[in-house]
Structure 1
Amino acid sequence: MHHNRLSIASLLAATVSTIAATSAAAETFTLRIGAGHPNGPAAYVADVANVFVPEVVRRVAEETDHEIEFVEGYGGAIAGVAETLEAVQNGILDIGAYCICFEPAKLFLHNFPYYAPFGPQDSADEMRAVRAVYDQVPWLTEQFSSEYGQELLGLHGWDNYHLGTTDPWETVDDLQGVKIGGAGPNLPWLEFAGAIPVQSTLPDGYLSLQTGVYNGWLMFPSAYLGFKFHEPAPYYTLIGFGAMGVNALTVNERSMARLPEEVQAIIREVGQLYETQAGETLNARQASGMAGLRDAGATITELSQEARAGWAASLASFPSQQAADADGRGMPGSEVMAAYLEAVAATGYEWPYEYSLD
Structure 2
Amino acid sequence: MKKLLLTVLAAAICMCAMPLTAGAKSIKLTYSNFFPPTHIQSKLAQQWGDEVGKRTEGRVSVSYFPGGTLTKAKQCYDGVVEGISDIGMSALAYSRGRFPTMAAVDLPLGYKSGTAATKVANAVYKKFQPKELDDVEVMFFHAHGPGLLFTAKKPVKTLEDLKGLKLRGTGNSAQLLKALGAAPVAMSMPDTYQALRKGVVSGGVYPMETNKGWKMGEVVKFCTLDYPVGYTTTFFVTMNKDKWNSISTQDQKIITELNKEFAAKHGQAWDDSDKAGREFLTKKGGQFIELSEAEGKRWKEKAAPMMDNYIKKADKKKLNGKEILDFTVATLNGVQ
Scaled by the length of structure 1, the TM-score of the pair is 0.84
Give the Cα–Cα distance (whole angstroms) in 2 for the partners of residues 200 and 13 of structure 1.
64
Q: Residue 125 of structure 1 corresponds to which residue in structure 2?
A: 116
Tell me if structure 2 keeps the 8 A contact 1:33–1:72. Answer: yes
Q: Residue 297 of structure 1 corresponds to which residue in structure 2?
A: 285
**Structure 1 segments unaligned to the other structure (5+ residues):** 350-358
Whether 2:174 is the aligned partner of 1:183: answer no
Instruction: Give the aligned residue type for 1:155.
Output: F
Q: Residue 112 of structure 1 corresponds to which residue in structure 2?
A: 104
Number of equivalent positions: 334
Whether 2:215 is the aligned partner of 1:248: answer no
- Runs of 4+ displaced beyond 6 Å: 7-10
CA displacement at 1:270 relative to structure 2: 1.0
Tell me if structure 2 keeps the 8 A contact 1:187–1:199. Answer: yes
CA deviation map 1:173-226 (0-9, x unaligned): 112111111123211112343211111111111111122211011111111322
**Structure 2 segments unaligned to the other structure (5+ residues):** none
CA displacement at 1:17 relative to structure 2: 6.3
Single out whichever of 84-93 and 304-313 deviates more from structure 2: 304-313
Instruction: Give the aligned residue type for 2:225.
Output: L
Equivalent residue runs for 1:336-355 within 5 Å: 336-347=324-335
Alignment equivalent of 1:151, drawn from 133, 137, 148: 137
Tell me if structure 2 keeps the 8 A contact 1:180–1:216. Answer: yes
CA displacement at 1:11 relative to structure 2: 4.9
Q: Residue 150 of structure 2 corresponds to which residue in structure 1?
A: 164
Give the Cα–Cα distance (whole angstroms) in 2 for the partners of residues 23 and 266 of structure 1.
15
Equivalent residue runs for 1:1-358 within 5 Å: 11=9, 15=13, 18=16, 22=20, 25-41=23-39, 43-50=40-47, 52-61=48-57, 66-115=58-107, 117-137=108-128, 139-140=129-130, 142-145=131-134, 148=135, 150-169=136-155, 170-240=157-227, 241-242=229-230, 244=232, 246-347=234-335
Give the Cα–Cα distance (whole angstroms) in 2 for the partners of residues 196 and 256 of structure 1.
41
Instruction: Give the aligned residue type for 2:238.
Output: T
CA deviation map 1:10-51 (0-9, x unaligned): 95795476368836544433110111232333x44332123x
Q: State the identity %.
A: 22
CA, structure 1 residues 200+238, in 2 after alignment: closer, same or farther (shift >3 Å)? Answer: same
CA displacement at 1:126 relative to structure 2: 2.3
Q: CA RMSD in A?
A: 2.6
Tell me if structure 2 keeps the 8 A contact 1:100–1:248. Answer: yes
Where 1:278 maps in the other structure, the secondary structure is: helix
Give the Cα–Cα distance (whole angstroms) in 2 for the partners of residues 97 and 319 of structure 1.
27
